[in-house]
Structure 1
């Protein structure tokens, strides 16, 4: 009963006189500030159309002041429940002005061009110490896999997934192993295979990067485990006298894929190392700074994985000659080395 009484009391307040008074307040509020709003809208419109020459120095200097005034008007409009049209206009105007003042100054294409034009390579060079450590760990993992399988072939099944091993098993004859390295002229299903490879390699790289927060130790262990499988396969083909053929088969995509995994592990290690040794900065500040640098590297890693998937799904299957595979793999390795360590067009994002 009390709720019903309060409902009708509210209804009684909303008389035509009250509505007219509210409209009058809304009109007065708008008229007092409309000049500044229209000026702000004109400045923002010119900026959106990239016609800054039509703006005076006073317009540029007054832009932050006009924005703060419009934002204040928007807050008042929301609190006093002014008319919906004025509220919607202010929300749109403030949003547009915010973007011109605080939003990104370049388009996605401009950022991507700067990224490939030096930003990515500079970020990679800034991780040189972590790259050296990750490379040493990967080499050690390969040796561990080789030695374990050489001592006991039962380790092969534990190190090499069954889906990857297929007919490449200890005890398989040379003819069987050699056949597994042959290419194919049939491209049917290779696109699906390439997608699977990209997904698998992306998972490894993301884990190597994401686990870096634990002082980089899990990232290094993941590198050891993944490269131990490679060492096991190297032993298998070496034992069959197919070392050169296997390295050629692997190089056509491996120079790009292993480089991507190396950078992922280095990026994760970089974050973990900065957290363990933050220096004068706090742990969170050090992690944030290293995280931004490592994230830029990881954006490029995604591009590398896409290229590696295409090379593995198509190039490795369609190019069957050992010299041809070495030529492609060697060219890709040379390209990445030159791009990361010799190409210094821009120093954007580079730091020690």
Structure 2
């Protein structure tokens, strides 16, 4: 190690840096200590013990710390001080801009109106997604009606058993009624659930591409259902098939609808941001859509329970309609009538 005494100029330079660092620390250390005390209490869940003065001072102290960090970096002060300020600023950032609520409180706000408000703010996108799903179902139905070979292009080969064009009424009815005869259609229902869950995630995730992939996914997914619907319709089993599907389908397809609407909402906001910047529009739409997607997961879980239990236990068409219709009315009432706590949006 070089002897500092052998180079007086270097020694004086080091002394100057140390003196500047000490003076810099002494002038601002009180603010840093106060900020650290405030955020430590908040991190330990003792935010209620903070005085009004401390709460009001938090944003100012945070900005002061950021300013101190900027000066310390530009002045090349000692590394230990810069590390301390970086850590303090990061902790303060989460206290100032992070979500200051417990999971239980967030959950209460989510089910208490936050979820439904996020959905109501996407009404236009829901109507677009619903229209696309109806069109997709009609496309699948009409394609197979015009040429039955389309059925094999739309429906996976794993399900090409008795549920194919030309199947007898007895064979198709046997897949709808009787637990011991439902294995084939049960596999189809399991496939629909798995496929729809994937479609829900992809429809949302791909929405950033101006919603085009989301729309195409909805059309393709519903075309499969339309093709299967045609098979049962040819033997006069339309009502029975819809009843069988409605038990879990009203919840499952509603979830797909909301996921598709969330993807369309993001894509539409990016394509047409209005007076906002593209970044701001995408951020706001993303927050709102994320809340909706959290609810979609809940709905898919409910659909899985209905598919696994209610569909197996209920063999009466009228009762199936009652269960499926009841679930549909429940979701509609919850989303478009219930307003819960009537506070700000959960995504805001």
Report the TM-score range of the alignment, normalised by the length of the smaller protein: 0.7 to 0.9
Pairing of 1:288-327 with structure 2 (within 5 A)? 288-327=283-322
* Pair 1:195–1:95, CA change in 2 (3 A): farther
Q: TM-score, normalised by structure 2?
A: 0.78
C-alpha displacement of 1:29: 7.3
Deviations along 1:199-247, whole A, 9 cap, x unmatched? 4222111232233334333333322222222122112112122222211
Residue 173 of structure 1: aligned partner: 168
Q: How many angstroms apart in 1 are the aligned matches of 2:251 and 2:43?
A: 41
Calculate the aligned-residue CA RMSD, in Å. Answer: 3.8
Q: Deviations over 1:237-290 (max 9, x none)?
A: 121222222111100111011111112222222233334433333444433333
Matched residue of 1:240: which SS? coil
| Residue aligning to 1:340 | 335
In 1: Cα distance, 2:219 partner to 2:288 partner:
24
User: Higher mean Cα deviation, 59-68 or 145-154?
Assistant: 59-68
Corresponding residue number in structure 2 for 1:12: 2
Alpha-carbon contact 1:183-1:318 (below 8 Å) kept: no
2:250 aligned residue (246, 255, 273)? 255
User: Deviation per CA, 1:109-130, whole angstroms, max 9, x where unpaired?
Assistant: 3222212211111121122222
Q: After superposing the two structures, state which structure 1 stretch, 236-245 or 271-280, moved more.
A: 271-280
CA distance in 1, matches of 2:45, 2:216: 51
| TM-score using structure 1 length | 0.77
Report the equivalent of 1:267: 262
Where structure 2 has 5 or more consecutive residues not aligned to the other structure, the ranges are 6-10
Partner of 1:43: 38
Residues paired across the two proteins, number: 334
Contact 1:209 / 1:219 at 8 angstroms: preserved in 2? yes
Question: Runs of 5+ in structure 1 lacking a partner?
Answer: 1-10
Equivalent pair of 2:144/2:230 in contact (CA under 8 Å): yes
**1:50, distance to aligned residue in structure 2 (A):** 4.9
> C-alpha distance in 2, partners of 1:54/1:267?
40
Shift of 1:299: 2.1
1:226 corresponds to which residue? 221
* Alignment CA distance shift 1:61-1:173 (3 Å): closer
Does 2:345 correspond to 1:349? yes
Q: Is the CA contact 2:109–2:346 (under 8 Å) kept in the aligned structure 1?
A: no
Question: Which piece of structure 1 moves more, 192-201 or 164-173?
Answer: 192-201
* 8 Å contact from structure 1 (residues 194, 309) kept in 2: no
**1:198/1:306 contact within 8 Å kept:** no
Question: 1:28: how far off?
Answer: 7.8
The 1:104–1:79 alpha-carbon spacing in structure 2 relative to 1, beyond 3 Å, is farther
Contact 1:121–1:343 (CA<8 Å) still a contact in 2? yes
- CA distance in 2 between counterparts of 1:273 and 1:334 reads 28
